[in-house]
């Protein structure tokens, strides 16, 4: 029975668990050194998540951000994040108490630790684990390398407090404690007032809004539980309740994602949401990664062992999978249970301690078979969907199964050997020592943020941005150099991904060019600008209404472009204290352009804002090759979207060459309707045609043979070389 009103003793146990968690988090991260206004991590994806948090505080939600992607605005429906709506609601709640994005970001992350502890504690107690053992296991579960390593970079994965509840519902179903089938007569019995049934439905709804990965994995375990229950009871009706739970999770997830799904269906997807089946292998975990210690272990020998292992290929976020020594005991026990006890599915409900260890051993095996390198995940990605690719994130479920097993083992030990009050005191003291050892083993000195460095960078950026905000009028647009793709870009020079987001993070009322979405018109427009000579770039930026130009010196290997900017605009108005950022005021230059062009200024601005934009969509890869021979590959089906943003039709000329691995037929439809024969020798192709105002598409369809390139997992069929579309005047 679920106890909604815990006893004072039970309440005290939860308080103690939270206290220990807060204590260990404080010591592990040395939080007494932190300034909570400064994000604990101030680079990379942490800045992306900071941008989301500030978006919620500034604009009420995260999906629309008019302060970014100027002269357009950032629309995050292109990168659907609505699967985290529960977590965004929590951020909005924090926003009722503070409008400082740094404070809100840090508080949300730090709150995930006690929340994980509380949910794990609740699940463990519901599964019959004693208070002391539950405190021990839940605190360790909250302090896993998975949690500390992901940190602000994977902020929403750090909020895995729903995982223990998902495991609880799964085990209730597998053990027959949650069912619609009467055990005596084998027929349906529905009681809407059953606490476990109501709690499970609520948990499934929460999971549906707590992240796609955790929702997907929950559905997988519910499916496994359905199979266990139906086989164990030999009654197909046992499949119905798990199926209903899966429907709640999946249906709720789709409802949360619906705005993004409808947006992508209307406008097409972007490169950032396209995944390849091979990704499921690249981002899986290896069994050895569960067993090995945390990277940078405090014991030098163990640190060297893990460092040697990490020299292998495909080491990425899966490095966070380590269970720690105590979790390893539970993990090995579950596999030992499988090998020694060989639990039969027909006897799982009565095997072991209420079937708990047998159930856990089967669920644990299923998780390993799904998530490990070369496992079932590769087949799912190939046959069903490649959208789910980071199967290493299953390790957080495996960790819960393992620590639950440790709690069970501790209880069995206590039942046999801890019967007097003195032994109980000694047992509690030993658990406290073991807990401290477990935290020592699971954590690393590298988890401590570099507080002085973070604050120095933060203060330098903040001062610089406030200078800009004081100098410029509200709503002023600032163009940022170098051009950095959004989201998910490799390092540009010495810049980390999302460094440009700091402009938005430290300002109010200004608009920034960074955030132009990959595969959309805003990015295509910015790419056209960057391809221009510096003098022409400056003029086009000023004509487009930008009042400032911001340059991050870390993004360039030399001072060439900065020197060219100075030659045209004079010395920069502001330079950051650390020397990384410089700002050029474009207002006087813009006034000069108005004088220069006179009556033609409006036409020049229209031309600058609405050039012909080309976006290579479905089936087409990025440009490759040297500057004098640029090419791109398409699959058997490719698509080019052309936007004519002006009010007038444009006469254009298309020039390119086509090549395929074998003799094939290429069909072109849309704005052009052609059919040509292609082969290994490039076929020169040139056509003139009219592009009316608005968006239009050219579709390519080839029946050529796939090109198999070593180490390249793309589906390559059609090669387009030196593609260009020029207007009649050009």
Do 197 and 178 form a contact (C-beta atoms < 8 A)?
Answer: yes
Range ranked top by mean pLDDT from 5-19, 281-295, 333-347, 376-390 = 281-295
Give the pLDDT confidence score for residue 354 in this predicted structure: 47
* Host H or E run for residue 701: strand 694-702
Give the pLDDT confidence score for residue 14 in this predicted structure: 95
Say which residue the tokens 């032994």 belong to.
423
How many C-beta neighbours within 10 Å does residue 315 have? 13
Q: Give a three-class secondary structure readout of 621-663.
A: CCCECCCCCCEEEECCEEEEEEEECCCCCEEEEEEEEEECCCC
Q: Evaluate the CA torsion angle 414, 418, 423, 424 in order and state its sign.
A: positive
CATH superfamily of 612-727: Galactose-binding domain-like (2.60.120.260)
What phi-psi label fits residue 509: left (phi over 0), alpha (psi between -120 and 50 degrees) or beta? left
Say which residue the tokens 């799964």 belong to.
170
- Percent of the chain clearing pLDDT 90 (strictly above): 71
Give the pLDDT confidence score for residue 657 in this predicted structure: 93
pLDDT tens digits for range 381-440: 888 888 898 999 999 999 999 999 999 999 999 999 988 899 999 999 999 999 999 999
Give the pLDDT confidence score for residue 117 in this predicted structure: 98
pLDDT tens digits for range 73-99: 999 999 888 899 999 999 999 999 999
Say which residue the tokens 């090419």 belong to.
631
In the chain, which segments carry CATH 2.60.120.260? 612-727
Tell me which residue of 252, 220, 198, 170 sits closest to 377, measured CA to CA. Answer: 220
Give the pLDDT confidence score for residue 462 in this predicted structure: 96
Q: Looking at residues 548-560, what average pLDDT do you find?
A: 93
pTM score over 0.85: yes
- E-state strands within 63-172: 64-65, 74-75
Q: Which residues does 143 contact at the CB level (< 8 Å), separation at least 6?
A: 21, 24, 25, 28, 113, 438, 439, 442, 443
Q: Looking at residues 621-640, what average pLDDT do you find?
A: 89
pLDDT score of 548 more than 50? yes
Give the pLDDT confidence score for residue 185 in this predicted structure: 56
Altogether, the residues listed in the chain come to a count of 730
Q: Evaluate the CA torsion angle 189, 216, 113, 327 in order and state its sign.
A: positive
Range ranked top by mean pLDDT from 190-204, 246-260, 341-355 = 246-260
Q: Give a three-class secondary structure readout of 393-415.
A: HHHHHHHHHHHHHHHHHHHHHHH
Give the pLDDT confidence score for residue 123 in this predicted structure: 96
Average pLDDT along the chain: 90
pLDDT score of 186 more than 60? no
Give the pLDDT confidence score for residue 352 in this predicted structure: 45
Say which residue the tokens 């604050």 belong to.
455
Give the pLDDT confidence score for residue 230 in this predicted structure: 76
Range with the lowest mean pLDDT among 141-145, 185-189, 341-345, 419-423? 185-189
Q: Long-range pairs for 244-251 at CB < 8 Å and ≥24 separation? A: 245/169, 245/173, 245/200, 245/201, 245/204, 246/219, 246/222, 248/201, 248/204, 248/205, 248/208, 249/204, 249/207, 249/208, 249/215, 249/218, 249/219, 249/222, 250/208, 250/215, 250/219, 251/208
Give the pLDDT confidence score for residue 403 in this predicted structure: 97
Q: How far apart are the first and last CA of the chain?
A: 77
Burial of 446 (0-12, 13-18, 19+ CB in 10 A): middle
Higher-pLDDT residue of 381 and 582 is: 582
d(CA 460, CA 456): 6
Burial of 450 (0-12, 13-18, 19+ CB in 10 A): middle
pLDDT score of 319 more than 80? yes
Give the pLDDT confidence score for residue 621 in this predicted structure: 86
CA-to-CA separations, 338 to 161, 217, 334, 352, in angstroms, rounded = 28, 22, 6, 12
Tokens coding 673: 């309707």
- Tell me the pLDDT band of 711, cut-offs 50, 70 and 90: confident
pLDDT score of 353 more than 60? no
Give the pLDDT confidence score for residue 147 in this predicted structure: 97
- Tell me the pLDDT band of 344, cut-offs 50, 70 and 90: low
pLDDT score of 212 more than 70? yes
d(CA 723, CA 182): 68
pLDDT tens digits for range 427-486: 999 999 999 999 999 999 999 999 999 999 999 999 999 999 999 999 999 999 999 999
Cis-peptide, bond into residue 99, ω within 30° of zero: no
d(CA 315, CA 288): 12
Listing DSSP states for 310-327 in one string gives TTSTT-SGGGGG--HHHH
Tokens coding 616: 């290579």
Do 601 and 617 form a contact (C-beta atoms < 8 A)?
Answer: no
Q: Looking at residues 308-334, what average pLDDT do you find?
A: 93
Give 551's strand partners: 481, 582
Rg from Cα positions in the chain: 29
In this structure, what is the dihedral angle of CA atoms 599, 602, 604, 605, given to the nearest 10 degrees? Answer: 150
What phi-psi label fits residue 403: left (phi over 0), alpha (psi between -120 and 50 degrees) or beta? alpha
d(CA 428, CA 430): 5
- Tell me the angle at which helices 212-233 and 163-174 cross, rounded to the nearest 10 degrees: 10
Q: Which residues does 191 contact at the CB level (< 8 Å), separation at least 6?
A: 197
Q: Report helix, strand or coil for 715.
A: coil
Give the pLDDT confidence score for residue 98 in this predicted structure: 94
Q: Report helix, strand or coil for 488.
A: coil
Do 617 and 639 form a contact (C-beta atoms < 8 A)?
Answer: yes
């Amino acid at each position: 029975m679920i106890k909604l009103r815990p006893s004072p003793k039970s309440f005290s146990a939860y308080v103690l668990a939270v206290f220990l968690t807060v204590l260990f988090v404080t010591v592990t991260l040395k939080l007494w050194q932190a300034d909570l206004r400064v994000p604990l991590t101030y680079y990379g994806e942490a800045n992306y998540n900071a941008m989301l948090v500030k978006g919620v505080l500034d604009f009420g939600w995260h999906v629309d951000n008019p302060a970014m992607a100027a002269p357009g605005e950032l629309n995050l429906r292109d990168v659907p994040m609505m699967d985290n709506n529960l977590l965004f609601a929590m951020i909005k709640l924090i926003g009722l108490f503070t409008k400082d994005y740094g404070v809100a970001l840090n508080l949300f992350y730090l709150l995930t630790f006690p929340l994980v502890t509380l949910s794990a504690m609740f699940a463990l107690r519901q599964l019959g684990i004693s208070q002391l053992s539950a405190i021990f296991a839940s605190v360790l579960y909250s302090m896993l390398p998975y949690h500390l390593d992901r940190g602000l970079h994977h902020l929403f994965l750090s909020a895995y407090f729903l995982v223990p509840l998902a495991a609880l519902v799964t085990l209730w179903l597998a053990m027959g404690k949650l069912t619609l089938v009467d055990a005596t007569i084998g027929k349906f019995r529905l009681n809407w007032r059953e606490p476990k049934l109501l709690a499970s439905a609520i948990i499934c709804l929460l999971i549906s809004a707590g992240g796609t990965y955790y929702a997907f994995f929950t559905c997988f375990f519910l499916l496994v539980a359905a199979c266990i229950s139906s086989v164990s009871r030999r009654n197909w009706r046992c499949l119905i309740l798990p199926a209903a739970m899966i429907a709640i999770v999946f249906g709720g997830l789709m409802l949360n994602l619906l705005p993004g799904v409808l947006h992508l269906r209307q406008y097409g997807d972007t490169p950032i949401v396209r995944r390849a089946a091979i990704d499921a292998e690249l981002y899986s975990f290896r069994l050895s990664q569960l067993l090995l210690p945390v990277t940078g272990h405090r014991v030098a020998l163990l640190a060297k062992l893990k460092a040697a292992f990490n020299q292998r290929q495909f080491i990425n976020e899966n490095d966070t999978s380590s269970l720690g020594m105590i979790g390893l005991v539970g993990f090995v026990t579950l596999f030992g249970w499988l090998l020694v006890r060989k639990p039969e599915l027909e006897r799982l409900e009565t095997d072991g301690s209420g079937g708990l260890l047998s159930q856990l051993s089967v669920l644990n095996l299923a998780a390993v078979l799904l998530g490990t390198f070369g496992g079932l995940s590769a087949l799912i990605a190939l046959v069903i969907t490649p959208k789910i690719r980071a199967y290493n994130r299953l390790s957080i479920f495996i960790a819960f199964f393992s620590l639950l097993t440790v709690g069970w083992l501790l209880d069995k030990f206590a039942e046999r050997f801890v019967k007097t009050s003195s032994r109980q005191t000694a047992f509690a003291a030993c658990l406290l020592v073991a807990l401290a050892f477990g935290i020592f083993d699971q954590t690393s000195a590298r988890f401590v943020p570099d507080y002085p460095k973070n604050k120095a960078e933060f203060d330098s950026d903040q001062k610089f941005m406030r200078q800009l905000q004081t100098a410029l009028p509200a709503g002023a647009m600032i163009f940022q150099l170098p051009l950095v793709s959004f989201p998910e870009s490799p390092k540009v020079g010495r810049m980390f991904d999302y460094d440009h987001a700091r402009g938005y993070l430290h300002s109010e009322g200004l608009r920034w060019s960074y955030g132009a979405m990959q595969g959309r018109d805003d990015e295509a427009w910015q790419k056209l600008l960057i391809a221009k000579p510096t003098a022409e770039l400056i003029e086009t930026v000023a004509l487009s209404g930008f009042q400032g130009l911001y340059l991050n010196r870390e993004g360039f290997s030399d001072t060439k472009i900065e020197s060219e900017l100075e030659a045209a605009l004079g010395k920069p108005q502001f330079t950051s204290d650390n020397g990384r950022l410089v700002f050029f005021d474009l207002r006087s230059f813009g006034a000069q352009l108005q004088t220069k062009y006179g009556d033609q200024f409006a036409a020049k601005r229209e031309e600058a804002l609405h050039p012909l934009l080309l976006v290579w969509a479905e089936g087409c890869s990025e440009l490759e090759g040297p500057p004098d021979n640029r090419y791109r590959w398409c699959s058997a089906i490719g698509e080019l979207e052309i936007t004519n943003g002006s009010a007038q039709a444009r006469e254009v000329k298309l020039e390119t060459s086509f090549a395929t691995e074998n003799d094939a037929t290429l069909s072109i439809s849309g704005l052009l309707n052609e059919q040509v024969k292609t082969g290994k020798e490039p076929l020169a192709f040139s056509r003139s045609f009219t592009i009316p105002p608005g968006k239009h598409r050219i579709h390519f369809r080839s029946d050529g043979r796939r090109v198999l390139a070593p180490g390249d997992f793309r589906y390559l069929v059609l090669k387009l070389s030196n593609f260009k579309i020029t207007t009649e005047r050009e």
